[in-house]
Structures are given as C-alpha cells and as structure tokens.
Amino acid sequence: MKFAVIVFPGSNCDADCYHVVKEVIKKDVDYVWHQEKDFQAEYDCLILPGGFSYGDYLRTGSIARFSPIMNKVIEFAEAGGLVLGICNGFQILTEAGLLPGALVRNKELKFVCKDTFLRVENDQTPFTSDYTKGQVIKIPVAHGEGAYVCDENTLKKLKENNQIVFRYSTSLGEVTASSNFNGSTDNIAGIVNEKGNVLGMMPHPERCAEAVLGNDFGKYIFTSIVKWLEGGAPGGK
C-alpha cells in the first residue's frame, strides 16, 4: 500500500500529511512534485494537501489545477483511485472539476484558525468507515476561503446521493447557523464525488491525528482509508 502527497509550489501542509501517513499510520508515502508528468510508482491513495498553492493568486486552487501532474490525478480519480483533498487540496479538486461546487471567502471575510465540531453524515465512504454516522468529531480549520457554495441543483444531488460527508455542528451535533462559522451552504465541511472515491474537506484531519496535539479524531480518516484499501470496510472491494 502506498500513498502520495502531491506538492504544489506554495503547499504548506504537505509535510504534515506525509508525517501522519508515515509516522502515525505507518504506511509508505512519497512526495510527488507538481511538475511530474507521470507517477514514478503505483499509488493507492493521493493526498492533495493544504496550503497556498501559487500564493492563492488569481483564485484559490485555480492555477494549481493546471499543473502537469493534475492530468494524472484526474486519470487516477476517474479510474476509481482514492483522492483526499484537504483545505487548499479541496479547493484544487473543485477547480479541477473532480468535485462539484466551489469554495469562497468566509462570511466574516477573515482567515479563521480554530477547532470546529463536525457531524459525520456518511460513514459508508472509503474515508469514514472508522467513524459512525451522527458521531461528532473535533477537527481544526484554518482557512480564509472555505465557505462551500453550489447551486440548488447540485445541492439536491449531493443530498440524494449522500455525498455530504461532514457538516459543521455544535459539540452536541446540532447543525446550527451559529456553528456555520464560515457561511457554507448547508453547513457543508466535506463532500465526496458521486462514486465516493474523492473526498474534499476544509478541516484538517492531519492536524489532530496524535493525542499530543490535543486529540486524534483526524487519524480515523487515514485508518479508514487503510481499511478500505485492505478490503475490510463497508463498500470496500
């Protein structure tokens, strides 16, 4: 089993994702530089990390989407490979058309770094089998442009297909307006594509995968992936 962390110029959570895969869940992982035209190894899961690819110039994720490696990322995703986009990675995935909708500026127009509570809405994805539906998890956010938006039709489809994976909630799991700190449509914090093999989320699971950093709720995204790849999870092969 092998992971890859895609590195764009301006990625800054690449080393954090690498650390969690290698040191916390103890799996093989490579960095893949954005200018590569092809993968040098067989990968089972690609991670698009957080950061400010191309300095967020023009629009978040909009330039990274044209990096040479993205052709391979799209190919990999279309073939059913697991792709996890975190924060800026989520933004890139929407720009690349692998996920619907877009991320726009937070409603207060400020960068926000803090712990948030998420309600797990779908535990049947390759990324969430180690959670249970309705579970409340604490995962930090750090973004200025993390308000998820989409048109009504898309929202309807997301709901029908059970593509909404995480919603911002209170610590008790109530999905309220006050817990929707960034103004996302329907409190959306993370979604999967129709096939369920591409997850984009604004919160940073890699930042809370070790108890020394406060909690390890985030680790279970990674352990879920491992379980799915090993064939032991619901919906798994």
What amino acid positions are annotated as catalytic residues? 87, 204, 206
If one asks whether residue 26 binds another protein (CB under 8 A), the answer comes out as no
Give the tokens for residue 60. Answer: 């978040």
Kindly indicate which of the ranges 44-52, 92-100, 169-177, 195-203 contains the residues binding another protein, using the contact rule CB under 8 A. Answer: 44-52
End-to-end CA gap in the chain? 15
**Ordered DSSP codes for 91-136:** HHHHHTTSSSSEEE--TTSS-EEEEEEEEE----STTTTTS-TT-E
Size, binding site for another protein by CB under 8 A:
31
Residue 210 near another protein by CB under 8 A: yes
- The backbone torsions φ and ψ at residue 165, rounded to the nearest 5 degrees and listed phi first, read -100, -40
Using CB under 8 A as the binding rule, whether residue 8 contacts another protein is answered as no
Interaction between residue 172 and another protein (CB under 8 A): no
Backbone angles phi, psi at 174, to 5 degrees: -85, 125
Nearer to another protein, 80 or 111 (CB): 111
What does the binding site for another protein look like in residue numbers (CB under 8 A)? 9-10, 12-13, 15-16, 19-20, 23, 50-52, 54-57, 110-114, 140, 142, 144, 204, 206-207, 209-210, 212-213
